[in-house]
Amino acid sequence: MSEQAQTARAHWSGRWAFFLVTVGSAVGLGNIWKFPYMTGSNGGSAFVLVYLCCILGIGVPLLMAESMLGRRGQGSPVGSMRVLADEAGASRLWQVIGYIGIVGAFIILSFYSVVAGWVLDYTWQAAEGFKALPKEAFAEAFGALLASPGRLIFWHTVFMAMSALVVLGGVTGGIERANKIMMPALFGILVFLVGYGAVAADLPAAWRFLFHFDPSAINRGVLFAAMGHAFFTLSLGMGAIITYGSYLERDVSIPRTGLAIAGADTLVALLAGLAIFSIVFAQGLEPAAGPGLILQTLPLAFSQMPGGHAVGLLFFVLVVFAAWTSAISLIEPGVSLLSERFGMARRPAVLALCAGVWLLGIAVALSFNDWSGFTLFGLGLFDLLDTLTTKIMMPLAGLLIALFVGWAMKRAHVYDEIRMGSRVFVLWFNVVRYVSPVAIVIIFLNIIGVIG
Ligand code: PHE
């Protein structure tokens, strides 16, 4: 049970396992809930193009950097950073990267789980079948869910329990096993849904919406939204990739796997977009519905279209799998720190961490109803935590990681872990040294309102 408490560090069973678990972390609500509605609200193809550039230009290099830190550090995000700072003769203050990640993951999970709870509630409704009602009824139904503390807390609790259960099983027996079942199933369902879009809905319209490039629609807002989302969707800066990397064997190529992971994550987002917009356009509905896209617009479509009952259920099961495999990657970094620092066995570490997240999540659930009067900087708790993590902590951690790898670590050590053709290495290294920090600082200044 307590693999971590033993001296030998757990390892994935191979490169395929690392690929699957990391794709499991990356593919989540970000791909199937956020990406489609952000695309819908940010001009379709313009957003997609900028997003692809951000993934390739900032996301992949940082994903490689993070996996490398974990594999070389062989510890929790904090422990790894300490080892690496010592190795580089740099200040131990660099451990702050690990702390930002672990605290950030804790906070993200508290609201991620509440949103995943909405999805569980809708999965339940989808199993019964959405009744054909006028459009307004679907908006009201979502509003009623948000207004019900009991329902929100119930499903949040279920989701936290499901996630804790997997992590209790350990690195290979729990996390790896769950991903080996859920990720192929997720991909199969997604391909089926796109096939459905081609046969029974409006795939060409969805294709045009996502890929008919219109440069005039690109503006600064699109650029910043896409950069921020690239961080979130690749699980960067939150200790998840460092932790998963720490269970990685030396013989796996980080550049190749990193590229494959980012490619798979992007493919899933695009396929989800195609499936969702095929259905939305076939029913003559609005693509720019915002966060309610999959919870208001899609159920309306499911209630009207042929085979909507089965397709609706499959869709929500897909979203549950995506959220579940991401949530476990938000738990493991904290668990690895608790066992490393306090010698805690896996079971008490998982239970303590999840109980804390669960409590914060209850406050998040209540922020939609009973406690909606509580705001700070004009934001309710949900938006406050979302802003704090995805707009501040993630870019900050990303910046520090780029600076540490690019400037503090010994180049020979970095090369030793990354080992690619020397020209490609130089390219990657310079991106991490110069391009990533500059880009992140620019996003950051925009976010805090200094520019833009
Ligand atoms: N990448 C996940 C998603 O797209 C979210 C996540 C962020 C998971 C950070 C782990 C760490 O939903």
Which DSSP state fits 10? P
Q: What is the DSSP letter of 4?
A: G
- Tokens representing residue 296 in the block: 């208001």
Please report whether residue 3 resides in a domain: no
Which residue has the least CA distance to atom 6 on ligand 1? 235
Task: Please identify, by atom number, the ligand 1 atom nearest to the C-alpha of residue 394.
Answer: 9
Ligand 1 neighbourhood includes 163 CB (under 6 angstroms): no
3-state secondary structure at position 376 = strand
Atom of ligand 1 nearest to the CA of 329: 10
**Alpha carbons within 13 A on the beta-carbon side of 227:** 24
Any ligand 1 atom below 6 A from CB of 235 = yes
* Ligand 1 proximity of 240 Cβ (cutoff 6 Å): yes
Question: Which atom of ligand 1 is least distant from the CA of 234?
Answer: 1
The pair of structure tokens assigned to 13 is 């069973």
- Ligand 1 atom closest to the Cα of residue 33 is 12
**Atom 5 of ligand 1, residue of closest alpha carbon:** 235
**What are the residues whose beta carbons fall under 8 Å from the beta carbon of 298, sequence distance 6 or more?**
276, 279, 280, 312, 315
Tell me the CA–centroid distance for residue 214 and ligand 1, in Å.
29
CA–CA distance, 126 with 313 (Å, rounded to integer)? 5
CA of 126 to the centre of ligand 1 (A): 25
Determine the Cα–Cα distance for residues 335 and 332; give it in Å rounded to an integer. Answer: 5
Whether residue 88 is contained in a domain is answered as: yes
Q: Is position 194 within any domain?
A: yes
Domain housing 287: 17-448
Q: What is the pLDDT of residue 2?
A: 41
* Distance from residue 137's CA to the centre of ligand 1 (Å): 31
Q: What pLDDT is attached to residue 286?
A: 87
- One DSSP character per residue, 62-91 reads HHHHHHHHHHHH-S-HHHHHHHHHHHHT--
pTM over 0.85: yes
Domain membership of residue 392 (yes or no) is: yes
Q: Is 100 in the pocket of ligand 1 (CB under 6 A)?
A: no
Q: Encoding tokens for residue 242?
A: 């460092």
Residue 437: how many CA atoms within 13 Å on its side-chain side? Answer: 13
Asked, for residue 248, whether it belongs to a domain, the answer is: yes
CA–CA gap between residue 379 and residue 340 (Å, rounded) = 36
Determine the Cα angle at 183 with ends 181 and 186, to 5°: 110
Give me 3's structure tokens.
């693999």
Per the structure, the count of domains in the chain is: 1
Pocket test for ligand 1, best of 25, 33, 231 (most atoms within 8 A of CB): 25
> What is the C-alpha to C-alpha distance for residues 448 and 310, in angstroms, rounded to an integer?
44
Q: With contact defined as beta carbons under 8 Å apart, do 350 and 167 qualify?
A: yes
In a domain, residue 7? The reply is: no
What torsion, rounded to 10 degrees, do the Cα atoms 261, 425, 66, 19 define?
A: 20
In contact, 63 and 361? CB cutoff 8 Å: no
Whole-number pLDDT of residue 292: 85
In angstroms, the CA 142 to CA 357 distance is 24
Please say whether the beta carbons of 324 and 162 come within 8 A.
yes
CATH number at residue 426: 1.10.4160
Asked if the structure places residue 8 within a domain, the reply is no
Contact 55, 261 (CB under 8 A): no
pLDDT tens across the length of the chain (452 residues): 344 444 578 999 989 999 999 999 999 999 999 999 888 888 888 889 999 999 999 999 999 999 999 999 999 999 999 999 999 999 999 999 999 999 999 999 999 999 999 999 999 999 999 999 998 999 999 999 999 999 999 999 999 999 999 999 999 999 999 999 999 999 999 999 999 999 999 999 999 999 887 777 788 778 878 888 999 999 999 999 999 999 999 999 999 999 999 999 999 999 999 999 999 999 999 888 888 889 999 999 999 998 999 999 999 999 999 999 999 999 999 999 999 999 999 999 999 999 999 999 999 999 999 999 888 888 899 999 998 998 889 999 999 999 999 999 999 999 999 988 888 999 999 999 999 999 999 877 877 776 55
Predicted pLDDT at 218: 81
Any atom of ligand 1 within 6 Å of the Cβ of 232:
yes
Select from 235, 242, 388 the residue to mutate for testing ligand 1; criterion: most ligand atoms less than 8 Å from CB. Answer: 235
- The DSSP call for residue 11 is -
At residue 451, the pLDDT reads 57
First-to-final CA distance of the chain: 51
Nearest CA among 169, 188, 168 for reference residue 177: 169
- Ligand 1 atom with the smallest distance to the CA of 30 is 4
> What is the reported pLDDT for 212?
82
Taking a C-beta distance cutoff of 8 angstroms, is the pair 437, 431 a contact? no
Distance 21 CA to ligand 1 centre (A): 12
- Tell whether ligand 1 has an atom less than 6 A from the beta carbon of residue 45: no
The answer to the question of residue 11 being in a domain is no
